[in-house]
Amino acid sequence: MKIERLSLIVGARPNFVKAAPLLKALKQRDRFKVRLIHTGQHFDADMSKVFFDQLSMPEPDLYLGINQGSPVEQIAKVMIALETEFIKNQDDLVVVFGDVNSTLAASLAASKLHIPIAHVEAGLRSYDRTMPEEHNRVATDHLADYLFTPSKDADKNLDNEGLSKEKIFRVGNIMVDSLLRFAPVAKQSTILDEYQLSEQSYGLVTLHRQANVDEPEALDEILGALAEIGTQIPLLFPVHPRTRQQLQKLGWIARLEAQRVRLTPPLGYLEFIKLMMHARVILTDSGGIQEESTVLGVPCITVRANTERPITISEGTNILAGISGPGMLNAFREVMNQKIPEPKNIDLWDGKTAERIAEILVGLAD
Is the domain of 116 the same as that of 206? no
pLDDT tens-place string over residues 291-326? 999 999 999 999 999 999 999 999 999 999 999 999
pLDDT at 257 over 60: yes
Enumerate the H helices of 90-209 as residue ranges.
101-112, 132-143, 152-160, 174-186, 191-194
Per-residue pLDDT at 43 = 56
31 in a structural domain: yes
Per-residue pLDDT at 48 = 65
361 in a structural domain: yes
Catalytic residue among 114, 208, 240, 278: 208
343 in a structural domain: no
- Count: domains in the chain: 2
Is the domain of 240 the same as that of 329? yes
Instruction: List, in sequence order, every beta strand (DSSP E) within 157-234.
Output: 168-170, 203-205
Domain of 158 in residue numbering reads as 5-172+349-365
Is the domain of 119 the same as that of 237? no
Is the domain of 149 the same as that of 20? yes
Is the domain of 205 the same as that of 285? yes
132 in a structural domain: yes
158 in a structural domain: yes
Is the domain of 48 the same as that of 167? yes
Known catalytic membership, residue 208: yes
Beta-carbon contacts of 255 under 8 Å, excluding residues fewer than 6 positions away, are: 223, 227
Cα separation, 277 vs 292, whole angstroms: 9
Is the domain of 101 the same as that of 34? yes
Q: What is the mean pLDDT of the chain?
A: 94
Per-residue pLDDT at 182 = 96
Is the domain of 160 the same as that of 232? no
344 in a structural domain: no
The CATH number of the domain holding residue 286 is 3.40.50.2000
Per-residue pLDDT at 167 = 97
Cα separation, 336 vs 174, whole angstroms: 30
160 in a structural domain: yes
Instruction: Categorize the per-residue pLDDT at 23 as very low, low, confident or very high, splitting at 50, 70 and 90.
Output: very high
Instruction: Categorize the per-residue pLDDT at 18 as very low, low, confident or very high, splitting at 50, 70 and 90.
Output: very high
CB 122 within 8 A of CB 141: yes
Is the domain of 194 the same as that of 235? yes
How many CB atoms are located within 10 Å of the residue 111 CB?
18
The lowest-confidence range among 10-14, 47-51, 207-211 is 47-51
pLDDT at 44 over 80: no
Instruction: Categorize the per-residue pLDDT at 47 as very low, low, confident or very high, splitting at 50, 70 and 90.
Output: low
Sign of the dihedral through C-alpha 197, 20, 71, 284: negative
Q: What percent of the chain has pLDDT over 90?
A: 88
Is the domain of 68 the same as that of 216? no
Is the domain of 163 the same as that of 190? no
Is the domain of 325 the same as that of 190? yes
pTM above 0.75, yes or no: yes
Beta-carbon contacts of 156 under 8 Å, excluding residues fewer than 6 positions away, are: 123
Q: How far apart are the first and last CA of the chain?
A: 7
Best CA proximity match to 244, nearest among 223, 265, 216: 265
177 in a structural domain: no
pLDDT tens-place string over residues 170-199? 999 999 999 999 999 999 999 999 999 999
CB 301 within 8 A of CB 326: no
Sheet holding 117-120, edge to edge: 62-63, 33-38, 5-10, 93-97, 117-120, 146-149, 168-170
